[in-house]
């Protein structure tokens, strides 16, 4: 245990994960992280999936440092540096505006950053979005910076800019070369569609896949489908998606979500050499969803997949219990029966023989590790542990990183 006298400030904030229903794939500027197309996402509830970041600043710190999920990481990574540099620049600008209230105590001090996710890393869920959104937001509270910050979060990870807002969020492509108009914007608040529910089906992953940053670089270089998608297709898909969300038309929302996910994975296949993010189980889930919807002659459930085999399912509250039972039946858990469904509780209902027959798939034992049941929710939360510039006693510092 190290005891360090800390004379500084400590702030803790948490930020949510978001799931794109119109995918971002491809950059026109790798440095500033400017996309080749606009995208649109749903921000998820923080009770089930969130990043929590605590940042301390003190004149006793010799250098900036960061710990992620308990392990020290390299603070010199360029994306971390971009966010730190940009937040300090904004803080200096504010403190230099002549208003003494804007004097920032910790600006000349080094920071120690500690970030943890409440969901297992093994889940293979993208944590860069909630991670960078949380880093930027916590720095903004520490340095007293207000205003539009999605452009800073974007420079950590593209999808992070959308986690700065709750509800339904678009990331506008923007036109400027400096990226100042490539920002996230709320389309509808989280209260807009309370019946919408989300299931994360965590697929048993056998191997590590190609990360989104390098995957999209290869796609931009080699895929003519990506070019066509970005130039001709996405803007129409964005308009239709916004209309579906505004009118709470689940059938249109679900269909557009599935089509955009498939188009993104088609782009990956069109990449040379091709990138495969979907696994056999992912494809079985796709098939199950289509058979389920076909049985009811209605789109009741929709899937979307990011740069990995896990499925995110959107449905309405009224259809949730039956669909969860269907997943349980066709992907029976081998041992963790009790632990299979995490998050928000779901009523248990029977599944009819006619529905099972309509799906007509052989059950795949252990194909899905577990399900996280969640919904749409709020944006970033912050909590100041200690007021500005309070004196912290010995021992506190070690607690912080436990
Ligand atoms: C498939 O935001 O992780 O999840 O900007 O290089 O950090 P970088 O990529 P990242 O890519 C996300 C890709 C996606 C689609 C999406 O979230 O829009």
**pLDDT tens-digit profile of 71-105?**
999 999 999 999 999 999 999 988 877 665 555 66
In the block, residue with structure tokens 């700065």: 164
Ligand 1, atom 11, lies closest to the CA of 212
By most ligand atoms within 8 Å of CB, the mutation choice from 20, 24, 26 for ligand 1 is 24
Cis preceding-peptide flag for 273 (omega within 30 of 0): yes
* Alpha-helical regions (H) of 307-390: 320-330, 353-359
Give the integer Cα–Cα distance in Å for 147 and 354.
Answer: 55
Which residues have C-beta within 8 Å of that of residue 330, sequence separation ≥ 6? 284, 288, 359, 361, 363, 364
Low-confidence ranges of the chain (pLDDT < 50): 1-5, 385-402
What is the separation, in whole angstroms, between the first and last Cα of the chain? 10
- Rg (C-alpha) for the chain, rounded Å, is 22
Question: What's the DSSP call for residue 45?
Answer: P
State the helix-helix crossing angle for 234-246 and 250-270, rounded to 10 degrees: 160
Helix (H, G, I), strand (E, B) or coil at 383: strand
Segment 159-186, tens digit of pLDDT: 999 999 999 999 999 999 999 999 999 9
* Closest atom of ligand 1 relative to the 264 alpha carbon: 1
* Closest atom of ligand 1 relative to the 154 alpha carbon: 5
* Closest atom of ligand 1 relative to the 79 alpha carbon: 7
Give the integer Cα–Cα distance in Å for 14 and 89.
Answer: 23
C-beta 306 within 6 A of ligand 1: yes
pLDDT at 98 (0 to 100): 61
C-beta 307 within 6 A of ligand 1: yes
pLDDT at 310 (0 to 100): 94
Ligand 1, atom 7, lies closest to the CA of 157
Give the integer Cα–Cα distance in Å for 125 and 19.
Answer: 10
Centre of ligand 1 from the C-alpha of residue 345, in Å? 29
Ligand 1, atom 14, lies closest to the CA of 306
């Amino acid at each position: 245990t190290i005891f360090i006298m800390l004379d500084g400030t400590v702030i803790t904030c948490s930020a949510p994960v978001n799931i794109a229903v119109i995918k971002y794939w491809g950059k026109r500027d790798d440095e500033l992280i400017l996309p080749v197309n606009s995208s649109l996402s749903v921000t998820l509830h923080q009770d089930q999936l969130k990043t929590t970041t605590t940042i301390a600043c003190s004149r006793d710190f010799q250098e900036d440092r960061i710990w992620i999920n308990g392990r020290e990481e390299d603070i010199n990574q360029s994306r971390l540096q971009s966010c730190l540099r940009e937040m300090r620049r904004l803080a200096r600008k504010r403190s230099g505006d002549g208003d003494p209230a804007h004097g920032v105590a910790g600006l000349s001090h080094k920071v120690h950053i500690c970030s943890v996710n409440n969901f297992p890393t093994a889940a293979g869920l993208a944590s860069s979005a909630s991670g960078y959104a949380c880093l930027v937001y916590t720095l903004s509270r520490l340095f007293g910076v207000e205003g539009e910050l999605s452009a800073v979060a974007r420079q950590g990870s593209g999808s992070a800019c959308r986690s700065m807002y709750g509800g339904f969020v678009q990331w506008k492509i923007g036109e400027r070369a400096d990226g100042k108009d490539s920002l996230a914007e709320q389309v509808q608040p989280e209260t807009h569609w309370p019946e919408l529910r989300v299931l994360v089906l965590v697929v048993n992953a056998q191997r590590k896949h190609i990360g989104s940053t390098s995957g999209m670089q290869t796609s931009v270089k080699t895929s003519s489908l990506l070019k066509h998608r970005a130039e001709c297709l996405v803007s129409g898909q964005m308009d239709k998606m916004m209309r579906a969300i505004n009118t709470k038309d689940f059938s249109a929302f679900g269909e557009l979500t599935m089509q955009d996910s498939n188009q993104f994975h088609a782009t990956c296949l069109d990449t040379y050499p091709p990138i495969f993010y979907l696994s056999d189980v992912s494809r079985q889930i796709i098939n199950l969803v289509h058979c389920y919807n076909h049985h009811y002659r209605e789109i009741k459930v929709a899937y979307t997949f990011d740069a990995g085999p896990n499925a995110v399912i959107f449905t309405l509250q009224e259809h949730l219990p039956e669909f969860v039972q269907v997943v349980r039946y066709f992907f029976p858990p081998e041992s963790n029966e009790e632990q299979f469904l995490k998050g928000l509780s779901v009523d248990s209902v029977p599944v009819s023989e006619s529905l099972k027959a309509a799906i007509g798939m052989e059950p795949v034992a252990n194909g899905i590790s577990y399900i996280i049941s969640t919904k749409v929710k709020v944006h970033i939360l912050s909590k100041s542990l200690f007021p500005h510039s309070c004196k912290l006693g010995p021992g506190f510092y070690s607690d912080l990183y436990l």
